[in-house]
Every structure is written in C-alpha cells, then in structure tokens.
Amino acid sequence: MCGIAGRILNAPGQVGRDLVDLMDAQEHRGADSTGFAIYGPPREAGYVLRGMGYDKSKVDADLVDLKAIMTDHGADFAADPQVLTDAAPYYCFRVEMTDPRDLAAWVADADTLTDRIEVQSCGRSLEIIKDVGGAAQVADKHGVRDMEGTHGLGHARLATESDVRPNASHPFWARPFSDVAIVHNGQITDYFTKRDQLTRQGYRFLTENDSELIAVWVSDQMKAGLTMPQALTKSIGSIDGVFTYMIATTDGIGFAKDRYAMKPLVVIDQAGDLAMATEEQAVRRIFQGEEDVINYDGPSMTALWGVGNRSLAA
C-alpha cells in the first residue's frame, strides 16, 4: 500500500506546497519515505540535477569527479552546487549544469560514480526530492513547500519490494530521459525479466525497486515511436502486476491502471486546475468545496492531463 498524488496548476504557483498537503493527507498509506517530482519554470538551456551521495565526508571529492565527467562532455556547473546534510550519513545535492554534447552519453558516464553518488533526476524543469520520513519531515528538510512550478507528483512509500532507503523511494526518474518521472502504487511481478531486457538494450537501473522499471519502460516505448497514450495502453497488457501509476513530463501527467482494478485514483478537475490522489481525503485538502470527484475505479484505464493547453497525445 502506497499513496500517490499529482497536481496541475493553471498558472505557475505553489505546486510544492500543494503536493506536501496531498502527501501529508496520505501519510498513513506509507510513511517509510516520501518523495516529490516538481516541474518548475523550464530553462532554455542547461539541466538541474538532484541526487545523493552515500558518504557526506566525501562530498568534495564526489563533486570534483562529477564536474570532471561534465568537462569530458563539454559541460560544467552553471552555479555552485547546493549540498544538504543532516544526521544521516548520506547527503543530498542540487546541481545546475550547462548542456552536455549528448545527455544520454553524459548520464552513462556519470553513472560510473554510482558506488558513491547517484543522480536521481535530470531535467530542464523536473526536480525530484525524495528521502526517508513522512511528508512534513521531508518537506521541512528540503524546502519543498517553497518550490514553485506548474505541476508535479508525490509519493508516500510503504516498501514491499526493496529496502527503505532514500534512493529506493519514489518518484523515479526515467533514466536517462530528461524531465520524465513516475510514481506507482502497487507491485510489479515481472520487473526482473523486463529490467533484464532493458538492461541489455543499455539502460541502467540503480535500485531493486520494481517501480523503477515503469519509468524506463514507458519512455523506451515512446522513444520507439509510440505516443504517450499508446504507451500507457500497451503497459496494461505488457507489465504484469498490480498498478496505478502516473507519469509526468514537462507537458503534463499521464495515468494507467492494471486489469484488476485494485488501486484507486481520485481526481478533481476544475477546468484544467487538477488534483489527483489515491484517496479522496487528499484531494479535499486542495479543493474543499462542492467540487465533484472523478473516481478512476475501473480496470485497464488510462488518462492524460495536459498543463494549460499543452497536449500529451502526440
């Protein structure tokens, strides 16, 4: 049992604050770890990286090596890296970088450092913040409530398939596709086989979490030519297990649900001002009036919600 949430604003605003509210209302669904994927104002060039290092005493050496790999790819830090530590042995970082010549090639080389540091999101707009603890605890530590943007995802985790660790929590970035993130409620049963197939194609998985598959699988289908609605529909027949997941890009949020109709999703849509969550009591934190909720309760469902007038259908 996990809790997921999504939020789309009609205009850039306090999406971080709303996602914290949505996740705080669902903390009972899983308080192991909480995570957020926030789409801020997109930059014309350069990427924001979010990630973590396992040993905070080695942060300086880690960042020197990360920068060296950027240099190899014609990129550099665009600002001083921000590092966040607390009592835990690991640290979290936020790095702004200039454009590398080839993003996927840079990600592959940066991933040679994954015994020490792990890039957890990369995007012109996307930033993934995830850590152990409940919504308020993670929000306070990382300043999530102050993060502005147009849309985003949230996740409260009750670990079933892998460790309780900050990097095994959601949202997952669709490594190495910039600006793609997912949250998932359920369990994937054939993830090991599918990961193996994707790994042989050159993709890299950093955790033993079943959900990490979904982000990469859907993105790979879209790379092969499917539209997002086609890829979402195909996932229902191709991925085995119980799932309700949401996948976000800079253009909006898509959703798919398995054939067994096990995991709920509740949506309030006020002319494109949207809140989605596992439980109605979460979306009522955002819309407290008489707004109607839509229950996506059937089997094999998909939906797409664009930001503003953007479309995910093409």
Partner 1 sequence: MTHIVDVGERHIREINEEIQEAAARGDEIRVVNTLSRHNLGVGLPDGCKISFEGSVGYYCGGLNTGARIEVERNAGWAVGEGMSKGHITVGGYAGMSVGAAMINGTIHVKGDAGPRCGVAMKGGNIVVEGKIGYQSGFMAHQGKIIALGGAGESCADALWSAEVWVAGDVDSLGVDVNVVEPTAEEVAEVDAILDPLGLVDSSRNWRKMVAGERLWYFESRDASAWLMI
Which chain residues interact with partner 1 by CB under 8 A? 259, 261, 264, 279-281, 284, 293, 295, 297-299
Least spacing, CB of residue 298 vs partner 1, in Å: 5
Least spacing, CB of residue 211 vs partner 1, in Å: 21
Least spacing, CB of residue 291 vs partner 1, in Å: 11
Least spacing, CB of residue 180 vs partner 1, in Å: 29
Least spacing, CB of residue 229 vs partner 1, in Å: 20
Least spacing, CB of residue 80 vs partner 1, in Å: 41
Shorter beta-carbon distance to partner 1: residue 141 or 284: 284
The span from the CA of 11 to the CA of 147, in Å, is: 14
Shorter beta-carbon distance to partner 1: residue 26 or 249: 26
Q: Are 302 and 232 in contact (CB under 8 A)?
A: yes
Least spacing, CB of residue 294 vs partner 1, in Å: 9
Shorter beta-carbon distance to partner 1: residue 3 or 176: 3
Least spacing, CB of residue 147 vs partner 1, in Å: 24
Q: Are 115 and 107 in contact (CB under 8 A)?
A: no
Shorter beta-carbon distance to partner 1: residue 54 or 287: 287
According to DSSP, the β-strands at 172-173 and 273-277 are unpaired
Shorter beta-carbon distance to partner 1: residue 28 or 101: 28
Shorter beta-carbon distance to partner 1: residue 102 or 297: 297
Shorter beta-carbon distance to partner 1: residue 146 or 297: 297
Q: Output the six-digit token pair for 311.
A: 């479309």
- Starting at the edge strand found earlier in the chain, the sheet holding 181-188 runs 172-173, 181-188, 241-249, 252-257, 302-306
Shorter beta-carbon distance to partner 1: residue 1 or 61: 1
The span from the CA of 103 to the CA of 99, in Å, is: 8
Tokens 């849309």 belong to 151
Residue type, 205: F
